[in-house]
Amino acid sequence: MEIKNKNLEELEQICSDIRARIIDVVSRKGGHFSSTLGAVELTVAMHKVFDVKKDPFIYDVSHQCYPHKLINGRWDEFETIRQFGGLSGFTKPKESEADYFVAGHSSTSISLAVGAAKSIKLRKEDRIPVVMIGDGSMTAGMVYEGLNELGDLKLPVVIILNDNEMSIAKPIGAISKYLSKILAGKFYQNFRDRVDRNIVQKLPDGATYIAKKMEESMKLITPGILFEEMGVDYIGPIDGHNLEEVIETLELAKGMGKPVIVHAHTVKGKGYSIAEGQHEHWHGVGPFNVDDGKFVKKSSVKSATAVFADGLLDLAKKYENVVGVTAAMPSGTGIDKLMSEFPDRFWDVAIAEQHAVTSMAAMAKEGFKPFITIYSTFLQRGFDQIIHDVCLMDLPVVFAIDRAGIVGNDGETHQGAFDISYLRFIPNMILCAPRDNETLSYALEFGYEAKSPCAIRYPRGAFVDIDYKASKFVLGCAELLKEGTSKKLLIGYGAGVSRAIETEKLHKEDIAVLDLRFVKPLDKEKLKELSKKYNDWYVFSDSQFEGGVASAILEFLNKDKICVNVRSFEYKDDFINHGDTKLIEEDLGLLPSQLVNKIN
């Protein structure tokens, strides 16, 4: 889509067309919604002022990148957004050269921009990185690590702070708003440079001190003091939906030749009145009716997340030392229910997984029982803290790992494939997984009683109903659900148990089924006993093969010199693309009907 040569009226029409396209497609297909609607003018202005063919366009998280995709040759293909085999919901260089980097986790953009700016300087190129980052991403420490170096290096980078909640700093009264407008103008920027160059630098020490203090006092009543003190110039706040103002400000920032943050206020859901404002449920949506905003009716089956939240709430009512934390996902993890019931014992620490883990480690040392509830994909961000601050001290922290396994449309940056692999080798860690709603409740009870770090994984959506009565969890004990007359044994872990049962029902032979329950520690005695009767073992788990469940079993068998045949039906050594979960499983050959053929 041509942007460069368009006048303001034509650009505003493009903004209107982009919004209409997003509303139409997302209402039918689902996807990220309010955040991307709020970024339309900012995106169009970026493409007007900068050159996407040479300047790195770096989107933080990139769930606000739909306008960018529409501008860059994907208007018709946008029908396939987040669908299997279609466009990703995030930036993806394999789709287009206009997408600089894969982005699905927050707060990486400024570090990427610093690396790009260093490369540009070394090559002596005429390019400038431009970042779009949401105010929510500014809650993560990595942003300030990047700003810290950027302010020291003074490399040209333009950072657009898309602030739709005023969560960075609220302007203080009319004077602040007036001064912010002055700060955004060419007059002030040129005036400040002239004062610094021609007056301040030439004044005696005492006068220089006074001049600097006057400038610092002026900054104290503006929102930009934090960034200015880190060595990054600040412009704003500006109206992020006033296209003319955004373009003029970006032109100014582009010409400054140094790092600068442009603070733009926007409204989430802009252009679709029902979604406008701070409505969390409009961030990422399923299909809905455009006329009244009503969502297509969802399944009434209770999700694993809801079962977890209810179970943890029961524990919190029973035991006063139960506390919990999540990292910017209170409703997604079900912790919002506990935050409402026990506001002094359950917290959302924003996008700060490292802080979440370490702060709960201290609470465990103080005698509390912390439950850290984070998606599998995001827990990766707290990996060092799990080792250094929890497991090294052998502190009884419970990691409730939501969205374990395939998560569907969010795709490769969000699939919960790796948690078993990256937790299993850590000393003192216990790994267990429930197979259904009942055993999830038992797993939470076990977690509360555990004297060491314990990780409990469960899937997105609902468990498959399993017609087997469950017993309570005992450390390192598996549960044999069914004996078999053949030499085959199906070993399920977590949600993999239901797949093993479905596969067994489709198979002509009478096959034994084991619920492993614990992958660390393994039930070695049970496995030794079963090896005497069953010679062919098949492993079912929603996890990566490398370092996963089958690997744990094979390590044990090799160490104890037990000879059985083991075949894994875990994920292959690759990143799993986005799309409907069943279509992904079919593509991976993991549907029960496909597994029966593989066993045969």
pLDDT at 282: 87
Report the sign of the C-alpha dihedral through residues 405, 143, 87, 78, in that order: positive
Residue in 503, 510, 581, 562 with CA at minimum distance from that of residue 538: 503
Could you confirm whether 353 is annotated as catalytic?
A: yes
Position 105 in a domain: yes
**Which residues form the domain of 402?**
304-457
Mark whether 141 and 265 lie in a shared domain.
Answer: yes
Check whether residue 177 and residue 228 sit in a common domain: no
Q: What is the CATH number of the domain that holds 594?
A: 3.40.50.920
CATH code where residue 370 lies = 3.40.50.970
Query: What pLDDT, on the 0 to 100 scale, is given for residue 168?
Result: 38
Work out how many domains the chain is built from and give that number.
Answer: 4
Quick: pLDDT tens for 435-491.
Answer: 999 999 999 999 999 999 999 999 999 999 888 889 999 999 999 999 999 999 999
147 domain residue, yes or no: yes
Answer yes or no: is 462 within a domain.
Answer: no
Rounded (10°) angle between helices 186-194 and 173-184 = 80
Instruction: Assess if residue 463 is contained within a domain.
Output: no
* DSSP for residue 290: T
Q: What is the pLDDT of residue 62?
A: 87
Q: Which neighbouring-strand residues pair with 162? A: 134, 264
- State whether 227 and 213 are in the same domain: no
For residues 349 and 339, membership in a common domain is answered with yes
Over residues 548-579, the pLDDT tens digits come to 999 999 999 999 999 999 999 999 999 999 99
Q: Is residue 298 part of a domain?
A: no
What distance in Å separates the CA atoms of residue 84 and residue 409, rounded to the nearest whole number? 8
Task: Report residues of the chain scoring pLDDT below 70.
Answer: 165-223, 278
- Does residue 391 share a domain with residue 278? no
Q: 205 with 273, same domain?
A: no
Given 19, 69, 74, 268, the catalytic residue: 268
**Claim to verify: residue 233 and residue 88 sit in the same structural domain:** yes
Whether 251 sits among the annotated catalytic residues: the reply is no
What pLDDT does residue 281 have? 81
Same domain, 107 and 165: yes
Specify if 265 maps to a domain: yes
Q: Is 154 left (phi over 0), alpha (psi -120 to 50) or beta?
A: left
Judgement on whether residues 162 and 179 belong to the same structural domain of the protein: no
Same domain as 106, residue 214:
no
**pTM assigned to the model:** 0.88
State the catalytic residue, choosing from 48, 82, 353, 435: 353
199 shares its domain with 235: no
Q: Does 297 reside within a domain? A: no
In a domain, 474, yes or no: no
Which of 381, 403, 435, 460 is catalytic? The answer is 381
Is residue 523 domain-shared with residue 533, that is, in the same domain? yes
Which residue spans within 219-273 are E strands per DSSP? 233-239, 260-265
Q: Are 420 and 541 a contacting pair, CB within 8 Å?
A: yes
Provide the phi-psi class of 350: left if phi over 0, else alpha when psi is between -120 and 50, else beta.
Answer: left
**268 flagged as catalytic:** yes
